[in-house]
Amino acid sequence: MKTDAMLMTEGPIYPQIISFAVPLFWGQLFQQLYNVVDSVVVGNFCGRSSLAAVSSTGALVFLLVGFFSGTFTGCGVVISKYYGAERYDLVRTAVHTSVAFGLVAGLAMSLIGVVFTPLFLRWMGTPSDVLPQAVTYLRIYFAGSIAVTLFNSASGIFQSVGDSKHPLHYLIISSLTNVVMDLLFVAVFDMGVAGAAIATIISQFLGAALAFRRLFASNEIYRVRLREIRFDREILKEELRTGLPSGIQNSVISIANIVVQSKINSFGTIAVAGCGVHSKIEGFAFIPITSFSMAITTFISQNLGAGRYKRAKKGAWFSIAVCCALAETFGLLYYIAAPHLISLFNREPEVIAIGTLEAHTICLFYVLLAFSHCVAGIMRGAGRAAVPMFTMFGIWCVLRVTYISIVTSFVPKIVMVFWAYPLTWFLSSIIFLIYLLKSDWVHSFDRDDRLSACR
């Protein structure tokens, strides 16, 4: 069957992973523009309070978006597994189940976000002078969040069959649209944080529309047909079995980050603005980490689905090495340029000082973050998503929150909050290294009878 996707079970390993990861890298770069442009435009045209309002919503957005996007990982792993095994009938079923889940997830996220936004922000201890604008921004964002889940669904389908280029094209278009809309609504029409949120939603709907236009018109095995969009019970169970641990993992990390954000909020609006700016810039350092962890998930699931165990192992170690090297390079560059980069968002010396302090505390340890995320990507690709879920829940959530609660009660300085990140990254890296070396993760799919019949 003709396909323009990439079957990653044959050919040279390193060029395949890189050629798949590079479009993901650029896609993540443009995705990051969604967050950064809002903050740059709002920070420069609306002031510190509005910047803090947008910045303070990041952890809450990722709590809900991260849960559903993490769950879509399970959809991608299932599609990749059957694509690698050349079970195209099951690929089609998994694709339509993924789209159905995207529709339901988008509606659920809109309802939860719009109704409970004020409550969530109060639980986080959002400063009173920031709260009204933060509520406005989040409610508009969540009202259109079905576009986020549908785009994640479409991107997951493309990526699971080795096509990382088309999602990149759609992200570039939607990101550039977001830049133009932000400047128009905020700088020209003076709509404040509401304008920034509306610009983001318009851009996301455009990206989702372009992605599904191709999926509906395609002649490939992953073509989407309206009449076939439904849940298949067995495929859905399989997708949720892999995806829910990833979604829960993202959520518990977000919960921990909300606790961290709440502690940062207690240091006042300047701290919220400074740390919020740092988080926007730090997102760029995470791009190579995210790109390679996504690429290795697809590579691993396709090759294990085809029974190519040695190839899967070789690709895993290559991805870890490249990802860690890139992450540390970005960390070093950020360490040097932190004050200048932060000043692009806000020129107040106090805001720059807080953001720079957080950057200098954290960014030299990005290699640990990269290692943890890469191994987590490998385990998800192998269908063992529960491993990173429990590890990150125990270390990145429970231990991180416990550390912050205890240490800051004795040393009430914001830098002690910042140290929670590198310390927990170090511990999770040790656990992941032991598991990667000692476990038999390459045989995770051997019990799938539908694959055994193909080998």
pLDDT of 229-267, one tens digit each?
999 988 888 888 888 887 887 777 777 777 787 788 888
> Is residue 455 a part of any domain in this protein?
no
By CB neighbour count within 10 A (0-12 exposed, 13-18 middle, 19+ buried), where does 218 fall?
Answer: middle
> Is residue 4 a part of any domain in this protein?
no
> Is residue 1 a part of any domain in this protein?
no
Q: Return the number of other C-beta atoms located less than 10 Å from residue 234's C-beta.
A: 12
> Is residue 362 a part of any domain in this protein?
yes
Q: Answer whether residue 62 shows pLDDT above 80.
A: no
- Contact predicate 327/367, CB 8 Å: yes
- Contact predicate 285/331, CB 8 Å: yes
Residue 30, domain extent:
13-443
Give the chain's domain count: 1
- For residue 7, give Cα distances in angstroms to 182, 231, 301, 305: 39, 26, 11, 11
Q: pTM value?
A: 0.77
- Contact predicate 58/277, CB 8 Å: no
Q: Which amino acid is at 50?
A: S
Q: Answer whether residue 34 shows pLDDT above 70.
A: no
- For residue 234, give Cα distances in angstroms to 94, 133, 231, 238, 434: 10, 44, 9, 6, 33
> Is residue 421 a part of any domain in this protein?
yes
> Is residue 227 a part of any domain in this protein?
yes
pLDDT at position 207, please? 92
Please compute the mean of the pLDDT values over residues 142-152 and round it to a whole number: 88
pLDDT of 318-370, one tens digit each?
999 999 999 999 999 999 999 999 888 778 888 899 999 999 999 999 999 99
Q: Answer whether residue 314 shows pLDDT above 80.
A: yes
pLDDT of 150-192, one tens digit each?
988 898 898 888 888 888 889 889 888 988 888 899 888 888 8
Residue 451 banded pLDDT, cuts 50, 70, 90:
low
Q: Answer whether residue 2 shows pLDDT above 60.
A: no
Q: Return the number of other C-beta atoms located less than 10 Å from residue 392's C-beta.
A: 26
Place of tokens 């390993």: 13
> Is residue 2 a part of any domain in this protein?
no
- For residue 65, give Cα distances in angstroms to 4, 120, 223, 260: 30, 15, 25, 18
pLDDT at position 1, please? 40
